[in-house]
Amino acid sequence: MPSAMIVGALLCRPISALELRSGHLITPALIFLMLFITFCRVKPSQMRLSPLHLWLLLFQTVVSTGLYLLLLPLNEIVAQGAMICVLAPVAMAAVVIGGMLGANVATMATYSLLCNLSIAVLAPVMLSWTGAGVCTFVEILSRVAPLLIMPFAVAQGCRLLVPKAAQWIGDHSQLSFYLWLVSLLVIIGRTTAFIIDLHDASARTELWLAFAALIICLAQFKIGRMLGRRYGDPAAGGQSLGQKNTVLAVWMAQSFLNPISSIAPTAYIVWQNFVNSYQIYKKDRETTKN
């Protein structure tokens, strides 16, 4: 994964050009395929709400508001960036990475649906209060629903109509990891190009936003694992709270807040993938030892 991030950063211009020519469809297509492969392992009967889901959602709601109010007197842009890093819903790919780390995929799939739909309701209120623009439920939902509901629906249709094919796909779910590596390369390429082309922010503000994103990232993974451990699934808790839908977060920051605040979720992309790299490396070493 670090290799994919380095290649993505070095080839940021060609990658950005390719993504632009595709109509920004490369990343959504990869996420769709990753989720389809993962959801082929999930039966709807396995998906149940648990207290863990409610604690995670409560954390996002309360802490995003608290951080904004705490940092607002110091720097409004940093306050907006910190708020969006907590408010952003769980990443679509978190289910994939959580599965690799031994998390209960059904638990994470349930929270992915719950969290993204809940944030689609909550985010318009938060963004209208903290930003200058007006955000609607439909705008947020249109960004998350196609990549959330469609892969699940197609996977369940596959399980019903061609169960042997769904079984084979579920048994080879490691394919989603390689798709995720390609997706990571594209996302880091776009992120690098965005940072290079941003000229309106002071270096001091950029550094504070990146530092805030780092602290929030590490804290959310840690607290998520602590909450998950109470319910017997630390990997699910860590990924559900720590791995964010940063593409959506960047869009929300650029569209409804001060655009410079989008540096925080942009930096969060890098930090969370370093954490994921370390976690998968550690899990692989444990598996090898056993």
pLDDT of residue 215: 96
pLDDT of residue 239: 94
Residues 6+ apart with CB under 8 A from 53: 110, 111, 114, 115
Neighbours of 54 (CB within 10 A): 12
Report the percentage of the chain scoring pLDDT > 90: 28
pLDDT of residue 81: 93
7-57 pLDDT per residue, tens: 988 998 998 898 888 887 887 888 788 778 877 877 777 778 889 999 999
End-to-end CA distance of the chain: 23
172-184 pLDDT per residue, tens: 777 877 887 888 8
Of 185, 239, 247, the closest CA to residue 217 belongs to 239
| Unique residue bearing structure tokens 């079984």 | 167
Of 274, 51, 10, 39, the closest CA to residue 154 belongs to 39
Enumerate the β-bridge partners of residue 244: 90
Q: How would residue 201 be classed by pLDDT, with cut points 50, 70 and 90?
A: low
| Unique residue bearing structure tokens 């904004």 | 68
Q: Give the three-state DSSP class for 103.
A: coil
Task: Give the burial class of 198: count Cβ atoms within 10 A of its Cβ; 0-12 exposed, 13-18 middle, 19 or more buried.
Answer: middle
Q: How far apart are CA 4 and CA 269, in angstroms?
A: 13
76-117 pLDDT per residue, tens: 999 999 999 999 988 877 888 888 888 888 888 888 888 888
Buried b (16+ CB within 10 A) or exposed e, 116-148: bbbbbebbbebbeebbeeebeeebbbebbeebb
The dihedrals phi and psi of 258, each to the nearest 5 degrees, come to: -65, 120
Give the residue with greater pLDDT, 86 vs 152. 86
| Unique residue bearing structure tokens 């890098």 | 270
Identify whether the C-beta of residue 222 lies closer than 8 Å to the C-beta of residue 234: no
Of 189, 248, 270, 250, the closest CA to residue 17 belongs to 189
pLDDT of residue 273: 87
* Whether pLDDT at 133 is above 70: no
pLDDT of residue 195: 78
CATH number of 2-276: 1.20.1530.20
248-280 pLDDT per residue, tens: 888 888 778 888 888 899 899 889 988 998 998
What average pLDDT does range 190-214 have in this prediction? 84
Q: What is the dihedral of CA 188, 190, 191, 194, to 10 degrees?
A: 160
CA distance to 91, 124, 139, 207, per residue, from 127 (Å): 19, 5, 12, 23
CA distance to 68, 178, 250, 267, per residue, from 83 (Å): 5, 31, 12, 14
The dihedrals phi and psi of 244, each to the nearest 5 degrees, come to: -105, 155
